[in-house]
Chain A
Amino acid sequence: MTIIPFLFDVLAYSAIFVLVVLGLGVIASMMGIFNFAHGEFVLLGAYTVYLFIDNGLPVWAGMVAAPLAVGAVGLALERVAIRRFYATPIVAMLGTYAIGLALRETVRSLLGGQFYSVTAPLIGSFSIGEISVSRWRTAVILITVAVMVGCYLLLTRTRFGLQVRAALENPALARASGISTSRVYAATFAFGAALAGLAGGLMVPIYAMSADMGVPFLIKSFLAVMLGGMGSFEGAIAGAALVGATSAALPWAIKPVVADVVVFIIAIAIVKVRPEGLLSKWRN
């Protein structure tokens, strides 16, 4: 009967990871820049929830506010700094690294370097027979699915979504067709940041709040994006699901220390063999 906790574990971790990677993937596919500050967007989402609690406001309100707040920060950053980097992806990597550093250290001094706990909106677990399944983690899975469905509808049923998909698949052609890439880019960056912020807000009751909570996600997220293939929404989800599932599943079979490393090696190997990723829509 250990299959149920195992599956639940894999699903729960993958859900969060998918939210994080989706934002990064959309930004990377459309603008070609790998946002080294993405982990810090996750952190800011968590920090927003923490601020709400610290000021006596309900935690679920903080979770609703998190994507909005981080989306706003993302938008501001895009207008001020990120837009200068579109022509030079390499400079973008380092510029976003510097932004991430500044953000992380700012939050660290605001937190006094401490770790804090945040209680989930839904405490406890419900039992399936002998097995206890965490209520909040179930909620996270459901919320993620809802967000995915919402994104899908947004991308396929709205005009804006059409523009985003066009810019994702073929930026030059999109520009040539008269789509204001500047506005689409800004909106997309803010959207990617908002997704990361939501992930951060949702995950903070599960993991502790600290200034370094976004760091472990960074490299894994990049690999997931490359693995899934750039240029599409489905690619990012596929890559994230694969990397997330492997990360959560392997420690059941092999030592966690080794499992951690193996995930990276597998990801790199796959990308090497299939550089365009699993579901790439870019015409190479």
Chain B
Amino acid sequence: MNNDDRSSRPLSASRRLFLQRTSLLTGMIALGGGSYLYNPKGVWAAAPIKVGIATDLTGAISWGGIPNSQVAKMVIDQINKGGGLLGRPLQMILEDTATNEQLAVTKVRKLVTQDKVDVVFGGITSSMRNAIKDTIVNRGKTLYIYPQLYEGKECTPYLFCTGPTPAQQCDTLIPWLIKNGGKKFYLPSADYVWPHTLNAYARKAIVKNGGEVIGEEYFPVDHNEYSATVNKIMSSGVNVVFNTTIPPGVAAFFKQLYEAGFLKNGGRLSCVYYDENAITITPPHEVEGLASCLDYFRAINDPFGNQLQAEYGKLFGNTSYNAGSGSTGMYRGIKLWEAAVKEAKSVNREPVAAALDHAKISDGPGGGCEMVPGTRHVKMNMYTAVSKGGKYEIVEKSKGPVMPGECA
């Protein structure tokens, strides 16, 4: 068979095309490509302070990452409108970590080595935080602020956490649950670090308050069949189901629990990551009476929170604003960092970290908050809320800010 003839003529044409494309790509490499650079508006005398935001804009966690990035943009624009920081504007550089730890490391590397940002905010899941923290903090020698509710125990120097910890979520909630639900608890959970660690803390709190843990079970996150567990719950007189299964499995679990009649029999459901956005995952009747404990709910109805929410809504329309996390934690993180930079009068890591260690802000979603010195975690107000007809009602506010109880 004569293949040579067919291939030698188009060869030169496609080879030329290939070379053209290569030189174009080489050009792009040299220029560094594009990225999502949010330049400060207006004319400024001084060079910008670079703020890196690394969050999941695509992939399974995009529901959290997109609000994160939007809150960050809103706050940074607010700061710039107010004259910037130390007379310099803030420039936001946004990178998508794509819920893919492999890709995330490269993105974060870009922020730290190529863009040379002065601080990085981001990461949502603990696995993402663990994947990128080394590149930022050790290899990149940059400050890292993690805004999400998580399991605690993150005590890496120069890594500050502004989301609720297990202690904050359980210390006020568990006593309330025992008073308003019952003494017998069941802990159905997703099988990864956060539920394990949260359950360990919750168990201690439950026992301390006179309750009893009937069972603790772990499932893969996409597990759909919970009949065995529901059966156990119904037959052992459990009063409170302290749930830490997460989407997608949680929808099936709540439905199967409801259909077995748990709520009808007076059972109380509790889920500490269920904020006003998560509640849409399940129909209202399946989560009637669900108790959650977070740092913010729209239902708090305080003027500062309302105004923030309104501004966010004006800029970003119908997109969600997540509590306990990204949105509130991101707000807190950026404002605390701003306060620290003002105190340190510099953006270098050492002085800012020292100032951030005891930074406080007087206003924020759910109220002001303050870093607990030496721990790199934030003490904040916690609110217990109950779902009625698909909407949250605040039933208890913590008496003052709750300690995070981490890295003491």
A→B interface (CB under 8 Å): 2, 5-6, 8-9, 13, 105, 108-109, 112-117, 119, 123-125, 132, 134, 205-208, 210-213, 215-216, 247-248, 251-252, 255-257, 260
Contact = CB atoms under 8 A, between A and B. Distances in A.
A8 B255 CA distance: 15
Contacts of A212: 60, 222, 248
A213 B255 contact: no
Nearest to A208: B251
A251 B228 contact: yes
A140 to B, nearest CB: 13
B188 to A, nearest CB: 10
Contacts of B63: 112-115
Interface string B223-249: 111011011000000000000000110
Contacts of A116: 280-281
B62 interface: yes
Given A108-B62, A113-B66, A125-B260, 14 more contacts: A112-B63, A113-B60, A113-B63, A115-B280, A123-B285, A208-B247, A208-B252, A208-B281, A211-B60, A212-B60, A215-B222, A247-B225, A251-B219, A256-B191
B315 to A, nearest CB: 16
A195 to B, nearest CB: 19
A124 B348 CA distance: 60
Contact of A117 (B60, B225, B281): B281
Contacts of A117: 251, 280-283
B227 A208 contact: no
Given A132-B261, A256-B217, A207 B224 contact: yes
A207 B259 contact: no
12 contacts: A5-B231, A6-B228, A113-B65, A115-B63, A115-B248, A117-B282, A207-B224, A207-B251, A212-B222, A256-B220, A257-B191, A257-B220
Contacts, number: 105
A5 B260 CA distance: 10
Interface residues of B, number: 40
Contacts of A134: 255-256, 259
Contacts of B218: 255-257
Contacts of A132: 259-261
B116 to A, nearest CB: 30
Contact of A13 (B191, B224, B230): B224
Contact of A207 (B191, B220, B252, B277): B252
Nearest to A252: B228
Interface string B281-325: 111010000000000000000000000000000000001100000
A112 B316 CA distance: 13
B197 interface: no
Contact of B282 (A5, A9, A208): A208
B320 to A, nearest CB: 7
A114 B277 contact: yes
B58 interface: yes
A43 B247 CA distance: 16
A134 B285 CA distance: 15
B280 A114 contact: yes
A105 B281 CA distance: 19
A207 B261 CA distance: 18
A46 to B, nearest CB: 11
A101 to B, nearest CB: 11
A119 B281 CA distance: 11
B66 A112 contact: yes
Contacts of A113: 58, 60-63, 65-66
Nearest to B318: A112
A178 to B, nearest CB: 31
Interface in B310-346: 319-320
A103 to B, nearest CB: 14
A125 B248 contact: no
Nearest to B320: A114
Contacts of A125: 259-261
B221 to A, nearest CB: 10
A2 B251 contact: no
A205 B286 CA distance: 12
A102 B252 CA distance: 26
Nearest to B65: A113
A105 B58 contact: yes
Contacts of B60: 113, 211-212
Contacts of B255: 134, 205-206
B36 to A, nearest CB: 16
Contacts of A213: 248
B259 A124 contact: yes
B223 A260 contact: yes
A213 B256 CA distance: 18
B223 to A, nearest CB: 5
Contact of A9 (B227, B247, B280): B227
A211 to B, nearest CB: 8
